[in-house]
Amino acid sequence: MKFKVIFFPILLAVIFSCKKETLAEIPTKTNPNLNYYGFTLIDVGWDDPQDKEIKVNYLDEVSAFTNMADILVAEPADNLVGRVQAMNTQGVKAMLHLHELFFYQTGTSEGVNSGLIYSLRIDYQQRWNDFKQINLSVLNSGSIACFYIGEEPAWNGISEADFTLATDYVKSTIADVKILTVEAYPALDIMYAPSSVDWIGFDHYFLPEPSSDATFIQEYQKLSSLRKVNQKIILIMDSHWIKYFHGSAGISKSDMDFIARDYYTLANSDTNVAGIIGYFWPGGFDNEKSLGARNLPDNVLEEYKKIGKQITGK
């Protein structure tokens, strides 16, 4: 879910004209597998530059309508027990970012990827075992929604063999927690999803109406074709706003509620979808002037809350 800038010609003649009328009442959830909803950058040490206070944990802002929030793991010695328990008391499960625990940058590339190459650490098993020993009391499906292993692995040059070794090992030690992988849309043709992965997704932002966008639908179908029988889909919802990118696509800040509804409608219509993750909650990430979900107008925030309450039942 890490942002990447893909330069492509913007056809300004085909600018989306967002609807301005009020959204109809949100549909009732009909997809029985659609059970998870949350946002990124909730507890990863990120301070939103859009406000004056220093704040790096936003659980209090989202716990009333979400049931999944991310925590960044940087080192094997990280003790997350208290932070996970704090989420759990609010009816929220943790999504643990484990990229740094397993992978490190080993080079660069001019191939079809981010230009970076990450490799599996030689001592990855020991690093995981050390982390697991410290946090074992909360490393279960009652406390953790998923382990997010690797940052857009194919896009960031992680080999399928390295990625599979990491996910297989984690699954062999804690079988009941889901493993999530999310790929960048330009790398879908080289995406892989080993059977030890439970949830798969991809990110493609700055689209006025994803479910009606021919390119997005092709990408979604590609992802679906990669899905193994044991795997479900997590939709990565565009929930931030950058003037240059969203504005160039004709998307205003107030229009983000229609985009949120579009993701929810798509998720509700496909029983292979298990959840929605909004990218991202606090602003200033990827771009210092970017607005996160919390910085968007009230009508958009209300839509996020309505969707979340439908999915989580809160």
- The predicted structure's pLDDT at residue 10: 35
For 165, other C-beta atoms within 10 Å of its C-beta total: 17
State the pairing for strand pair 68-72/36-43: parallel
- The predicted structure's pLDDT at residue 2: 53
Helix (H, G, I), strand (E, B) or coil at 95: strand
HSE-CB of 283 using CA atoms within 13 angstroms:
16
Q: Which amino acid is at 312?
A: T
- The predicted structure's pLDDT at residue 13: 30
pLDDT in tens, 299-310: 999 999 999 999
- The predicted structure's pLDDT at residue 110: 82
> Is the CB of residue 307 less than 8 Å from the CB of residue 37?
yes
With a cut of 70, list the residues of the chain below it in pLDDT. Answer: 1-21, 112
Write down all domains in the chain, each with its CATH number in brackets: 36-312 (3.20.20.80)
pLDDT in tens, 262-280: 999 999 999 999 999 999 9
CA-to-CA distance for 300 and 58, rounded, in angstroms?
18
- Average pLDDT over the chain reads 93
- The predicted structure's pLDDT at residue 159: 97
- The predicted structure's pLDDT at residue 299: 98
Q: How far is CA 48 from the centre of its chain?
A: 18
> Is the CB of residue 124 less than 8 Å from the CB of residue 116?
no
How many residues does the structure list for the chain? 314
CA 71-148-302 angle, to 5 degrees, is 60
